[in-house]
Amino acid sequence: MTYACFECGSEVEYDYLIKHKLKCTKCKEKRSNIWVKKRPPVTKTVIAR
């Protein structure tokens, strides 16, 4: 599953998020709700509100 940072648009894998504790290493955002599921039109959910 690929996720995209809502702030800077960088795309990362879920494993990457876990590894970095949901922190975006590109824009330094540490909130968990900046990540948006990148893939398919099935479900577009934001992680943890």
Among 27, 32, 37, 47, binds Zn ion (CB under 5 A): 27
Q: Is 33 helix (H, G, I), strand (E, B) or coil?
A: helix
Which one of 11-19, 20-28, 37-45 is the stretch in contact with Zn ion (CB under 5 A)? 20-28
Residue closer to Zn ion by CB (options 42, 48) is: 48
Among 5, 12, 17, 22, binds Zn ion (CB under 5 A): 5
5 Cβ contact partners less than 8 Å away, ≥ 6 residues apart: 11, 12, 24, 26, 27, 29, 34, 35, 36
Q: Residues in the site for Zn ion, rule: CB under 5 A?
A: 5, 7-8, 24, 26-27
